[in-house]
A and B are shown apart, each in its own frame.
Chain A
Amino acid sequence: MLSRTITRLPLILGIAFIVLFVILPLVGMLAETFWGAEGFDLSPWSHLFEEARDRQAFFTSIQLGLACVAVALVLGGGHAWLCGTRDLPGWRVLGPLGVLPLALPPITIAMGWSDITVTKSFWFCAVLVGVAFAPFVAVMTARGLDTIDGRSYESALLSRGRTSAELLVLRSALPEILAGALFVFVFAVGEYGVPEFLTIKGKTWHTYSEAVFARWTRRATGSGMEDLVGPIVASVPLLVLVLFAMFVALLLRARATISGSFAPLPRRSLGALRVPALLLPVTYLGIGVIVPIVVMVRWAMGSTDVTEPMSFEVLRRTFERTFEQAGGDLRFTFLVAVLTTIVLVVIGPPLARSVAKRGILVQSLVAIPIAVPAVLLAVGFVKVYNRPELGPLYDRTFDFYDSAGIVVVAYGARFLPFAILTMLHAQRRVDPTLEEAALFGERGPLARVLHVRLPLILPALWSMACLVLVLALRELDTAVVLPAGNGTVVRRLSNVIHFGGEAMGGALGLMVFAGACALPVVTMLVTGKKMRSLS
């Protein structure tokens, strides 16, 4: 009985988490669009997109999202395609590196490029954001290619020729590629950090998230909470669009066969293009990792300091000073990221298991927290957990609203879809009879979970943990709204750059990058296996 209760506890906690930290903030926020100061009021809905400024910002975000998808498909998808199917020199090393841009906060990529170019155009922004999220497409394309039976390619090649065979491969990997593109779209549409950073550098066009945040910050100067109702209403069509796209992606993924008997795809020759083809991975990694890292290293070595030349001594001193001044932020950020990861590792698998038993419609609803722009999701948290009624409770217990706790649950809510979708796919790949076989023993439910279920999903669980850790380390959009988020490194990073603290910014960026790389790199070194974080 105790064993059964313990095995059910994570699911109960997961459901409680969804109710408290996903449904409550979102429904609470949505409810405000119906109840104004004078009671029930549908006027915000009748004024949807009435303001030209809102309309413009919204459609700019959609355009940005689509442009980022195009960039991610070309660079991230192209990288994975070349490394997964062609005899590209060094494909073994280059392939796993496709995930690397994910280890850098998007704002650091923008910071790096702003140091060497003055462009603030739409496409410049799209390339930066697109590359920052392109690892989703890269990893999922690689995943899709991995699940194609090479014999089906060969039979198409023999019967229909090379073009048909290549099209067959593309068609087979398409569900995964589309799912990756969808993730890029939802992140890019809701992206706040990079567009805001470029605005400060002189960009004149604005995105939806910038508009939401601008209204949010105007609260303190006389603008009312109701001012936000318009953007909340405006987010609903976006939400519907994303949920529909997620539904289609999941439908396609569910139809994709997971073959038991399997031959890997044959690696095709690039011929004379073998070396020139390296240009694509080099461009992708150059934009997403190499240039930003080089710029940050230069900053940390004192490139912007006019009193002293660049040197390793300056680098050492910069790191020392950064630890002194931002050590607390670093500890806070890693604590929040680790706690978020632990929360999702505990509740993700049982929720995925529960969701797997339901239809694809329910599975696509799981995507709601990422479909809502992060800034808006965080506003929902503030609205629900910063109510005066909760004051006495916080006094008696602890001030949840000002603690790391609210950042952990907000990050947890935001990245919950990744945890569930990753585990959902892993669950699909596990032969159900392996768990059924354990039912016939004398062991209780807890032993069955620990000895059979857990080892079977462990690789996916570990990949998911690495992914969530990395995403939590680089998250900015949620942190800018939550007061407790001011203590995160990425928040400090965006502040110090605004105020000319490039040296410390460079050091902080490098530390986050190293922290984000540590867990996956150690895992790869220990297990000798590549990690498919989103599989």
Chain B
Amino acid sequence: MVSIELQDLVFERRKGFRLGPISLTLGDGSRTALVGPSGCGKTTLLRCLAGLETPGSGSIRIGDRLVQGDGVHVPADKRRIGFVFQDGALWPHKTAMAHLRFVAPRLSRKDAKALLHAVGLEGRERRRPAQLSGGERQRLALARALAITPDVLVLDEPLASVDVHLRDELALLVRRLTEERALTLVVVTHDRDEALAMADDVVILREGHVVEQGAARDVLRAPRTSFAASFLCRASVWPAEAVADERGIDSLRTPFGTFERNGAPTGPVSVVVLPGEARIAAQDATNVARARVLRVLPRGDRALVTAEVAGRTIELFADASDTIDVGDTLTVELLGKPRFLVPDRRSGERVSSTKKNGDRS
């Protein structure tokens, strides 16, 4: 097991793209997902880590080895990293067995066979990539990455080209193999479910910068930025206003009514509602807003309703027996106090205040 440490890493491309400066520490045996929208720099960061790109400045340390920075550039093949490319990057002319034996010539045929067995490719040793299914190709890419007995396993959108029903299976395989082999895992994805299925920690990137990082569980429970809230937590975010009236009472004006707030500075804020923090209102409910139904998806004995409240969408569950149709108007009720985020002066990003929740006035 090794840790990974990135210090003030900066990478610039000619066409104006800039990544960083980024400083990160990923612990021994940690499983981290780099998430963010397309073009945010997550794959570039991964390629810098693997030695496929050379950053302009900053340093990378894998375990106690400096692999990048201070005039040092350890090439990719010396970093002890297993890399799984987005589409597998399998060699069309080689069999599954030949893939493993090429990257790891000292691997015995028996061990190679065992590795193929471990990823679920028993009996496929002599098949070429064109003779494998999408899921099997990705398993082979995983086996090839593991064949060199790496310290770090790096996956670049590994499930992007795999059928939806196979994704969970492969994600569990990745988890199991990294646990068994005590590997530090870094996975890049723009899919929240994929990230959460494989990783315990998340690093959220936006436009070349880290906007939030931490244990996935904590970020999901209490995102500190509106970007993380909407991107990772599927939260609904509304602009709101923190005001103080002439009587000196602080309040928060939201689409769900006005709430008392505890000491947040006045001015624009964001109100964040995580999944499960709102529901279709009971008749006597308070903290309500009007919503127009955009979509109704059956989910067993329930239905997932997507509705629009004050120009933003929110997802709610209803009983399957309820007669809700697209275009209907509903009343949505907040469960408890709304959390709000105040803008950060430096980044303009909405971040959590120290006192998060307001009280209903």
**Which residues 20-36 in B have Cβ within 8 Å of A in the complex?**
none
**Does chain A have a CB within 8 A of B93?**
yes
Whole-angstrom distance between the Cβ of B100 and the nearest chain A Cβ: 10
Complex CA gap A451/B91 in Å reads 9
Closest to A441 in B: B103
Give 1 or 0 for each of B211-243: 1 = CB within 8 Å of chain A CB: 000000000000000000000000000000000
Point out which of B87, B94, B103 has the most chain A C-beta atoms below 10 A from its C-beta.
B103
Note all chain B residues with C-beta closer than 8 A to A357.
none
**Does chain B have a CB within 8 A of A443?**
yes
Note all chain A residues with C-beta closer than 8 A to B75.
439
Choose from B102, B145, B150 the contact partner of A443 (Cβ within 8 Å). Answer: B102
Would you call A437 and B83 a contact (CB within 8 A)? yes
**Does chain B have a CB within 8 A of A42?**
no
Closest to A432 in B: B89
Would you call B85 and A441 a contact (CB within 8 A)? no
Choose from B87, B89, B102 the contact partner of A441 (Cβ within 8 Å). Answer: B102
Would you call B77 and A440 a contact (CB within 8 A)? yes
Note all chain B residues with C-beta closer than 8 A to A438.
91, 102-103
Give 1 or 0 for each of B88-101: 1 = CB within 8 Å of chain A CB: 01111110000000
Given A431-B89, A452-B91, A455-B91, are A437 and B144 also a contact pair (CB < 8 Å)? yes
Whole-angstrom distance between the Cβ of B144 and the nearest chain A Cβ: 7
Whole-angstrom distance between the Cβ of A124 and the nearest chain B Cβ: 48
Note all chain B residues with C-beta closer than 8 A to A443.
102-103, 105
Can you list 25 contacts pairing A with B, beta carbon distance less than 8 Å?
Answer: A431-B89, A434-B89, A434-B90, A436-B52, A436-B83, A436-B85, A437-B83, A437-B89, A437-B90, A438-B91, A438-B102, A439-B75, A439-B76, A439-B77, A440-B76, A440-B81, A440-B82, A442-B105, A443-B102, A447-B102, A451-B102, A452-B102, A455-B91, A456-B92, A456-B93
Whole-angstrom distance between the Cβ of A184 and the nearest chain B Cβ: 34
**Does chain A have a CB within 8 A of B148?**
yes
Note all chain B residues with C-beta closer than 8 A to A433.
85-87, 89
Note all chain A residues with C-beta closer than 8 A to B86.
433
Complex CA gap A510/B27 in Å reads 74
**Does chain A have a CB within 8 A of B106?**
yes
Whole-angstrom distance between the Cβ of A440 and the nearest chain B Cβ: 5
Would you call A437 and B85 a contact (CB within 8 A)? yes
**Does chain A have a CB within 8 A of B104?**
yes
Closest to B77 in A: A439
Note all chain B residues with C-beta closer than 8 A to A451.
94, 102
Note all chain B residues with C-beta closer than 8 A to A452.
91, 102
**Which residues 97-139 in B have Cβ within 8 Å of A in the complex?**
102-106
Would you call B91 and A440 a contact (CB within 8 A)? no
**Which residues 445-479 in A have Cβ within 8 Å of B in the complex?**
447, 451-452, 455-456
Complex CA gap A90/B172 in Å reads 53
Closest to A452 in B: B91
Note all chain A residues with C-beta closer than 8 A to B94.
451
Closest to A439 in B: B76
Note all chain A residues with C-beta closer than 8 A to B105.
442-443
Whole-angstrom distance between the Cβ of B147 and the nearest chain A Cβ: 8
Closest to B104 in A: A442
Give 1 or 0 for each of B65-89: 1 = CB within 8 Å of chain A CB: 0000000000111000111011101
Complex CA gap A451/B94 in Å reads 9
Would you call B77 and A441 a contact (CB within 8 A)? yes
Note all chain A residues with C-beta closer than 8 A to B52.
436, 439
Whole-angstrom distance between the Cβ of B72 and the nearest chain A Cβ: 18
Complex CA gap A27/B92 in Å reads 44
Q: Interface majority SS on B: helix, strand, loop or mixed?
A: loop
Choose from B92, B106, B148 the contact partner of A440 (Cβ within 8 Å). Answer: B148
Interface positions of A (Cβ within 8 A of B): 431, 433-434, 436-443, 447, 451-452, 455-456
Please give the number of chain B residues whose Cβ is less than 8 angstroms from any Cβ of chain A in the complex: 28
Note all chain A residues with C-beta closer than 8 A to B85.
433, 436-437
Whole-angstrom distance between the Cβ of A3 and the nearest chain B Cβ: 12
Would you call B76 and A442 a contact (CB within 8 A)? no
Note all chain B residues with C-beta closer than 8 A to A434.
89-91
Whole-angstrom distance between the Cβ of A443 and the nearest chain B Cβ: 6
Complex CA gap A442/B86 in Å reads 21
Given A433-B89, A452-B91, are A440 and B102 also a contact pair (CB < 8 Å)? no
Whole-angstrom distance between the Cβ of A300 and the nearest chain B Cβ: 44
Complex CA gap A197/B229 in Å reads 80
Would you call A440 and B83 a contact (CB within 8 A)? yes
Whole-angstrom distance between the Cβ of A65 and the nearest chain B Cβ: 38
Complex CA gap A434/B103 in Å reads 13
Note all chain A residues with C-beta closer than 8 A to B150.
440
Would you call A442 and B144 a contact (CB within 8 A)? no
Point out which of B76, B145, B148 has the most chain A C-beta atoms below 10 A from its C-beta.
B76
Whole-angstrom distance between the Cβ of A524 and the nearest chain B Cβ: 20
Note all chain A residues with C-beta closer than 8 A to B104.
441-442
Complex CA gap A447/B91 in Å reads 14
Choose from A436, A442, A447, A455 the contact partner of B89 (Cβ within 8 Å). Answer: A436
Would you call B91 and A442 a contact (CB within 8 A)? no
Q: A434-B90, A439-B76, A440-B81 are in contact. List 14 more A-B contacts (CB 8 A).
A: A433-B87, A436-B52, A437-B89, A437-B91, A439-B52, A440-B76, A440-B77, A440-B145, A441-B77, A442-B105, A443-B105, A451-B102, A452-B91, A456-B92
Note all chain B residues with C-beta closer than 8 A to A442.
77, 103-106, 148
Note all chain B residues with C-beta closer than 8 A to A439.
51-52, 75-77
Closest to B80 in A: A440
Choose from A431, A436, A441, A447 the contact partner of B148 (Cβ within 8 Å). Answer: A441
Whole-angstrom distance between the Cβ of A13 and the nearest chain B Cβ: 25
Complex CA gap A437/B91 in Å reads 9
Whole-angstrom distance between the Cβ of B93 and the nearest chain A Cβ: 4
Complex CA gap A252/B81 in Å reads 39
Complex CA gap A434/B90 in Å reads 6
Complex CA gap A442/B101 in Å reads 10
Would you call B89 and A440 a contact (CB within 8 A)? no
Closest to B106 in A: A442
Note all chain A residues with C-beta closer than 8 A to B102.
438, 441, 443, 447, 451-452
Note all chain A residues with C-beta closer than 8 A to B89.
431, 433-434, 436-437
Would you call A455 and B82 a contact (CB within 8 A)? no
Whole-angstrom distance between the Cβ of A17 and the nearest chain B Cβ: 29
Complex CA gap A218/B49 in Å reads 67
Complex CA gap A452/B98 in Å reads 11
Complex CA gap A434/B137 in Å reads 14
Note all chain A residues with C-beta closer than 8 A to B93.
455-456
Complex CA gap A455/B81 in Å reads 25
Complex CA gap A433/B157 in Å reads 14
Complex CA gap A447/B77 in Å reads 13
Complex CA gap A369/B64 in Å reads 54
Note all chain A residues with C-beta closer than 8 A to B90.
434, 437
Whole-angstrom distance between the Cβ of A271 and the nearest chain B Cβ: 37
Whole-angstrom distance between the Cβ of B157 and the nearest chain A Cβ: 12
Closest to B50 in A: A440
Note all chain A residues with C-beta closer than 8 A to B148.
440-442
Complex CA gap A434/B75 in Å reads 17
Point out which of B82, B87, B91, B144 has the most chain A C-beta atoms below 10 A from its C-beta.
B91
